[in-house]
Chain A
Amino acid sequence: DADVTQTPRNRITKTGKRIMLECSQTKGHDRMYWYRQDPGLGLQLIYYSFDVKDINKGEISDGYSVSRQAQAKFSLSLESAIPNQTALYFCATSARDGSGELFFGEGSRLTVL
């Protein structure tokens, strides 16, 4: 099984719908992240959490919210999806040891019609 698991892997939805992307990890890391990847824009940080009680906005948090339900679980919500939120979303984790290495899931491809 993957160390960082994202569900769903693919989702097509309509404008205005609420969507939740879920992430769970078995690496025992405290830090978790949500990134968005668009062609030509690279990876952009949406939200990050350094422990269960810590939530921080990233570069592009507008239109998104997150919940850190447990050390191993970090979910991303789009309250009212819009077409320009069509993208590939990645969850990632890192250890507190300061190595800087991120461990990514396999991505969730979201299409908003």
Chain B
Amino acid sequence: QKEVEQDPGPLSVPEGAIVSLNCTYSNSAFQYFMWYRQYSRKGPELLMYTYSSGNKEDGRFTAQVDKSSKYISLFIRDSQPSDSATYLCAMSEGNTDKLIFGTGTRLQVFP
């Protein structure tokens, strides 16, 4: 079993939809949780960063962490075609430690 599991998709939604992306993990020592966005032919870039459990909101994006269930989510409200990308979850035990990445979920938002 992988340490981090992520549904690869692809996920195809109409513009304006609410998108939910999820990851599960097995290592209860993970404390730092991130979402990276990767456009085609580009390197990943950090989208959201959360420490421990709880919610964090940034514009149309909300990250949720449920450590009791070992489950993290990224919600995208009012999705736009420009949100079409691959979304990778990542997590680590300490903030200076190596990140463990999920396999990524490919999202397509059509007009």
Mutual binders A and B: yes
Does B42 touch A at the CB level, under 8 Å?
yes
Q: A104's contact among B34, B45, B92, B95, by CB below 8 Å, is which?
A: B45
- Taking CB atoms, residues of chain B closer than 8 Å to A45 are 98-99
Min Cβ gap B88→A in Å is: 7
What separation, in Å, do the CA atoms of A105 and B41 have in the docked complex? 11
Task: Please report the C-alpha to C-alpha distance between residue A106 and residue B34 in the assembled complex, in whole angstroms.
Answer: 20
Tell whether, in the assembled complex, residue B44 and residue A104 are in contact, meaning their CB atoms are under 8 Å apart. yes
Interface string of A84-113 (1 = CB under 8 A from B): 000000101000101111111111000000
- Chain A residues with Cβ below 8 Å from B104 are 42
In-complex Cβ contact of B49 among A44, A90, A96, A101 (8 A): A101
Whether a CB of chain B sits under 8 angstroms from the CB of A28 is no
Task: Report yes or no: A48 in contact with B49, Cβ–Cβ below 8 A.
Answer: no
- Tell me if B101 and A43 are in contact (CB < 8 A): yes
A18 to B88, CA, bound (A): 31
* Per-residue interface assignment for chain B, residues 1 to 20, with 1 indicating a CB less than 8 Å from any chain A CB and 0 otherwise: 00000101000000000000
Chain B at the A interface: SS class: loop
A contact set with B: CB distance below 8 Å = 4, 40-45, 48, 58, 90, 92, 96, 98-107
Which residues of B from 66 to 111 have beta carbons under 8 Å from A?
88, 92, 95-96, 98-99, 101-104
User: Can you list 25 A-B pairs, Cβ within 8 angstroms, ordered by A?
Assistant: A40-B103, A42-B88, A42-B102, A42-B103, A43-B44, A43-B101, A58-B98, A90-B43, A92-B43, A98-B95, A98-B96, A99-B49, A99-B95, A100-B92, A101-B46, A101-B49, A102-B44, A103-B45, A104-B45, A105-B43, A106-B42, A106-B43, A107-B41, A107-B42, A107-B43
Cβ of B88 and Cβ of A100 under 8 Å apart? Answer: no
Report B-chain residues with C-beta under 8 Å of the C-beta of A101: 34, 46, 49
In the bound complex, do residue B41 and residue A100 qualify as a contact, i.e. CB atoms below 8 Å apart?
no
**Which of chain A's residues have a CB closer than 8 A to the CB of B43?**
4, 90, 92, 104-107
Distance between Cα atoms of A101 and B36 in the complex (Å):
10
Given contacts A40-B8, A42-B88, A42-B104, contact A100 B44 (CB under 8 A): no
